[in-house]
Structure 1
Amino acid sequence: MRHILLVGALALAFAASPVRAANVLFGIAEGVAEQASFGELQDKYQPLADYLGRVLKNKVTLESSQNIPSAMANLQKGRFDLMFCRPSNVAAKAIRDNKYQLVAMAKGDFAANFIVRKDHSFKKPEDILPMIIAMPEGSSLMAKAGLATMRDMGGKPKPEQVRYTRYQEAVPFMLEKQFADVGIVAPVQAKAWEKKGGVVFFKSKKLPFWSIIASPRMSRADVDKMQKALIEMESSDEGKKILAKIGVKGWVPGKAQEYVEMLSWLGV
């Protein structure tokens, strides 16, 4: 009898003691805008993972990739607890279809940029519709946003007009070599094009920017803590260094509905 009581007491004590949560898996999806190795991505985002780990009082394990289909599959399975999404359509689909929570959105204006050579003769945006257009692969956000913008202008390029490329960095090269008349790229590539004397002729409507999202398993309290800590990064030396390393100006709360509305506009 004494043995039974002792076992029961131990069981109750164990049940009452706090159980440490499993490590937080933090996925990184950079997309086709950049070319970086797994090691380079891990080094780039490890300080951010460590920062969020201190906020959550838990170990945050980093898993970086440029394989967007794989990242989306893992989000559908609910494998990632957190994810930093460079292509905002990835976050949008996870928010709409898998109930992920928006933690914070990166600061900045984001749109598909239509770039042309400096010797172009276009007068208005509609003039580019019959031209040869270079863009990243068809599944990319920039390609979809570019096509949606042209659709709103009343045009749809024929298959023979479109030149797809694996990396956005190749789009300006195609214009330089006159393999295409117009290119569709993200703001980073557009700025580099302007520095070389090229022209950003027009842009799509403003799109929601990069974001950090959290699994529906994470508590609202933890999401709020992370959001607050991310927004405060601009106020500390450590935070500023992390922001500079990952190429983000700062964070704002953002609106999840804007991501969902973007998918409707893209026709996804």
Structure 2
Amino acid sequence: MRNIYSLSLITLALLATAVEAQPNAKKQLSLAVSEGTSGGIDAEAARAKYQPLADVLGKAIGGEVKVVFVREFSVLEKGMKDNQYDLVIARPSDYPARGLRDYQYKFVATAKPDGQCMLIVHKDSPLKKVADLKGKTFIMPEKNAYMTRFCRAELRDQGIILDSEAVTYVREQGAIPFSIENKITDVGGVASYSGAYKQWLSSGHRVIHQSKPQPYMPLVASQGVTAEQIGKMQGALNELGSSEAGNQVLKRVGITGFITTEESRLRKLLEWLGV
């Protein structure tokens, strides 16, 4: 009897040790949000825009998710490198993609619709197709901006090396339609999700080419977020479009839904961009 009693004590001790060794899932997570310096929002606007989404994620895991606004991409990347953020959602997409590739972040979702580089020309332009753009003047966002890299990769695939063309780079995307409309330059590149593109469509001007679609506004999770938590959050994201309340959350963020099954596309993005 004494041997059985001793064995039971040893078994209980081992079980207790195993339970203690298991990492406890954090119940309060941070959601870093970044739209970059040209996103047009501040910390207060970011919280108003993204906290309803954070609340959906928090409810899914039985905890709390708080929005942390990150304006500078350098701060965002350092935060991922130092594992400061539990969750990251950002546009442009290359920073969350770097989180996957370089900082052991895990895929959660990307937003719908995908992003595209839209090459725009004046409505009276004689240019009809991408091949006509060789030797013309281009206007793009800053040289190292995501959308410039995006457009550069698309043009490369279409046989045009942007760095060999005459290009003006500008900080504000709103300057791109202005330049085309006033015939200062021949062709410009803007993001499909930008306000500049929406205004362009309403002006009656033309889009000469749309790039292949790529993942937009990815959501990734740090190493400390468990697979179970990610699964629960993905389930909640997939359900958002099925209710009026969920659709209001999506509308506030400016998207139509989430995709939780296409991790490989996001992992291939940086290779396509050449970074």
Q: Which has the higher strand share?
A: 2
Distance 1:170 1:83 in 2: 29
Secondary structure at the counterpart of residue 140 of structure 2:
strand
Q: What is the aligned partner in structure 1 of residue 274 from structure 2?
A: 267
1:158 Cα shift? 4.5
Q: What percent of counterpart residues are identical?
A: 33
More off after superposition, 109-118 vs 223-232: 109-118
Distance 1:65 1:167 in 2: 19
Picking from 85, 90, 93, the partner of 1:88 is 93
Q: What is the aligned partner in structure 2 of residue 203 from structure 1?
A: 210
Distance 2:211 2:24 in 1: 49
Count of paired positions: 254
Secondary structure at the counterpart of residue 41 of structure 2:
coil
1:167 aligns with 2:143: no
1:237 Cα shift? 2.3
Secondary structure at the counterpart of residue 60 of structure 1:
strand
Superposition RMSD on alpha carbons, in Å?
A: 2.2
Normalising by structure 1, what TM-score?
Answer: 0.87
Distance 2:213 2:165 in 1: 28
Where does structure 1 lack aligned partners over 5 or more consecutive residues? 1-11
1:103 Cα shift? 0.8
1:151 aligns with 2:156: yes
Secondary structure at the counterpart of residue 122 of structure 1:
coil
1:235 aligns with 2:239: no
1:215 aligns with 2:217: no
Hey, which bits of structure 1, 4+ residues long, moved more than 6 A? Answer: none
Superposed CA offset, 1:45-82 (max 9, x none): 11111221222222212111332222122112211100
The residue type paired with residue 25 of structure 1 is: S
Distance 2:28 2:51 in 1: 15
Normalising by structure 2, what TM-score?
Answer: 0.85
Q: What is the aligned partner in structure 2 of residue 185 from structure 1?
A: 190
Distance 1:240 1:260 in 2: 28
Q: Does the CA-based 8 Å contact 1:129-1:157 persist in structure 2?
A: no
Question: Kindly tell me: are residues 26 and 109 of structure 1, through their superposed partners in 2, closer, same or farther at Cα, counting changes over 3 Å?
Answer: closer
The residue type paired with residue 62 of structure 2 is: K
Q: Does the CA-based 8 Å contact 1:32-1:168 persist in structure 2?
A: no
Q: What is the aligned partner in structure 1 of residue 113 from structure 2?
A: 108
Where does structure 2 lack aligned partners over 5 or more consecutive residues? 1-15
